[in-house]
Amino acid sequence: MEWISECDARNGMLMHHVLMLSSARAIEPAYAEFWKRVLADGCAHAETTSWTSLGVEIFERQSAMGGQGFMHVKFRDGQRKPCRGVSQYFLRSDAFTCLDVRGEDRMAARRRQLRFILDHYALLKQAVGAPQVRPLLDRIDGIRPLTVDAAASYGWFDLQIGQESFGPLPAEDQAMLALKAAA
């Protein structure tokens, strides 16, 4: 696994941080490494930015011809907008691959993709317990509370970092999962 920097497309002075994970490596250690970087930077920039939350999204590779999937994290302000002038973070890995299945019903595919994303969010939550990550989370929480919101298929929900379960999923996502359970 290797950190690289990439220039922002709109602001040439702003660099984003990208953790590249080779296909042979497990994703779990990368989540801990990813948290370390994001939380350490959040602590370092707390006085110069007004972050109140992190926004986390997973963009999975859905076709064999598609590019590598990734997770994207950005610090957000009180209006849930990206903090200006603050780097964003990407974790690129083949682990973010959830290929389309020929002939699969569209709703079945969406349910499968949502479960895939939720499984990755669960692994991301588990990584907070790593010995090298927990002190950073405690430190950032000592500065000010940090909410971590994750994107689902139809909206955002609270990952509830440090708690066993997620916050409630958006109603549409709950309904989509319930539809499968009823079938």
Mean pLDDT per block of 10 residues along the chain (183 residues) reads 89 89 88 96 91 96 88 95 91 91 88 95 94 94 94 96 92 86 46
pTM reported for the whole predicted model? 0.91
Give residue 141's pLDDT: 92
C-alpha distances (whole Å) from 171 to each of 42, 154, 155, 156 are 31, 8, 9, 10
Give residue 131's pLDDT: 94
Give residue 9's pLDDT: 84
Give residue 8's pLDDT: 83
What's the rounded Cα separation, in Å, for the pair 90 and 107? 28
Give residue 181's pLDDT: 52
Give residue 159's pLDDT: 96
Token pair recorded at residue 120: 């990755």
Give residue 22's pLDDT: 84
Give residue 13's pLDDT: 81
What's the rounded Cα separation, in Å, for the pair 84 and 121? 25
Token pair recorded at residue 14: 């702003």
Q: Degrees (nearest 5) of the Cα angle 153, 103, 72?
A: 30
Give residue 182's pLDDT: 44
What's the rounded Cα separation, in Å, for the pair 151 and 84? 20
Helix (H) or strand (E) holding 103: none
Q: For residue range 43-84, what is the model confidence (pLDDT) as tens digits?
A: 998 988 889 999 999 999 988 888 889 999 999 999 999 998
Give residue 101's pLDDT: 87
